[in-house]
Structures are given as structure tokens and as C-alpha cells.
Homo-oligomer: A and B are copies of this chain.
């Protein structure tokens, strides 16, 4: 059996997230398996680097699947892009060692959360950004974010209460930038705030809860210095709100 690794983009808006479900065929994994199973004539299972929740987007999700085929990776990519809906695309494909596993071999991931910091409605990016109308203090958010970097128990920053697995993760960097959303012709208008999180892995809802907590710092509802206490509390109630899925994009999955 050959093993293929694909890099995927999708707009999460219309889907019930990555993971296939009994109750719906409206998931990214479900769509991919249906397509590849049809192509191969036998059941094909697709392994993703991780689940993305309903409404979350991906610019660089990675998946792999084992398949008997005469086709080249380029032909598989072409086939998939021909049949996939317009909001899912394969942007690269390669044949990999049969032992490669997109989740188990992942060394790191990068997520981006986009906040439009303006009271003016933004038509063109509306599906990909979360709007915060009040002025945000970026410097305070940067100070708070620095406390999240490093290896910590992120139990306070996940919605998953039942899991007995480790909630320790390492965040290499939290980058916060004020950039132009392109809302106006004059691109000097820096009305978008981008939160880019790179780490070895992220818990369920972790990026969205970290962003929600940082936004509360940016609105001066919390102090940057509260972050270490939230981490050590290990209590979801101490962290900030879960921000909407639509602002979140899985940017990249890294392998060694």
C-alpha cells in the first residue's frame, strides 16, 4: 500500500468540523474519505494531523492516507481538486514513507486568530475574522502573551474536562501584530490584530480560550500579570471567554 501526504485548505464555515461523524456527512474528513473511497474502489481512511472544530478554517492542514493506485501524487491532487467542493482544496501532495502518520509524527502547529478591531463593518473578510469594536491595547496583550510562552499545564485553557490525558503543552511563540485588514484603499489603516500561536500541540478550544483571555487584557478587563495565576489555577472558570470559531485558522503543521 502506498502512503500519501496531502496539505489541505478549507473554509470551515459550512462544515461540522474536521472529524467524521455518524450523524452527518458534512465534515471535512467525511468529504475526503467519500471522494478517495470512490476513487480507489475500496474504503480509504484519512488521518488528519488533528481535528479542527466546526467553523474553524485551515490554510495548511495535513492528512495522510494509504491507497493502492497507479496514480502519481500530482494526479491524485488534480483528481481531488476536480471533485472537491469549492471551499476545500489540496494545495500539495507527495508520496511518503509507509510509516508516516500525520498526527503521530506532527512536531508542531501554528494557528492564527484574526480580530478586526474597528466599528466599521468589514464585508470581504467577514467569514474569517472576529470583530471587536472597542479599542484594544496591543502592548498589554503582548505582555500577557509572554506568560503563555514556554511549557505549562494549560488545563485552565481547555473546555475538555473529562480527559485524563496530559494537559501540558509547550508554546514556542505567541505573536501579536497590528496589520492592515485591507478594508480601505489606504493600507496604512492598521485595523486588524493577528494572534499567531506556535507550539507542539494545542488542547481542545485552547487557542480560542487563550485569545479570549488576551482580548480581555486588551480591553483592560484583566491585567497581564493575571496569566500565571490563571495557569496555576488549572481551572477553566479563571480563564477568559471562548471566542468564535470563524476567526481561527490552522496555518501550518510541522514535521521533522
Residues of chain A at the chain B interface (Cβ within 8 Å)? 9-11, 57, 59-60, 81, 86-92, 110, 120-124, 126, 128, 183-185, 251-252
| A86 near B185: Cβ-Cβ < 8 Å | no
Q: Counting chain B CB atoms within 10 Å of each CB, which of A10, A92, A121 scores highest?
A: A121
A84 to chain B: closest CB distance in Å?
Answer: 8
Taking CB atoms, residues of chain B closer than 8 Å to A122 are 9, 89
| A252 near B185: Cβ-Cβ < 8 Å | yes
Q: Indicate how many identical chains form the complex.
A: 2
Query: 30 A-B Cβ contacts within 8 A?
Result: A9-B121, A9-B123, A9-B124, A10-B123, A11-B123, A11-B124, A57-B124, A59-B124, A59-B184, A59-B185, A60-B184, A60-B185, A81-B121, A86-B123, A86-B126, A87-B123, A87-B126, A88-B123, A89-B120, A89-B121, A90-B121, A91-B120, A91-B121, A91-B183, A91-B184, A92-B120, A110-B185, A124-B128, A185-B251, A185-B252
Interchain CA distance A91-B86 in the complex, whole Å: 30
A189 to chain B: closest CB distance in Å?
Answer: 11
Interchain CA distance A11-B122 in the complex, whole Å: 10
- Which residue in chain B gives the minimum CB-CB distance to A249? B124
A187 to chain B: closest CB distance in Å?
Answer: 11
A75 to chain B: closest CB distance in Å?
Answer: 14
A244 to chain B: closest CB distance in Å?
Answer: 14
A45 to chain B: closest CB distance in Å?
Answer: 24
* 12 more CB-based (< 8 A) A-B contacts, given A9-B122, A81-B121, A124-B128: A9-B124, A10-B123, A11-B124, A59-B124, A59-B185, A60-B185, A88-B123, A89-B121, A90-B121, A91-B120, A91-B121, A185-B252
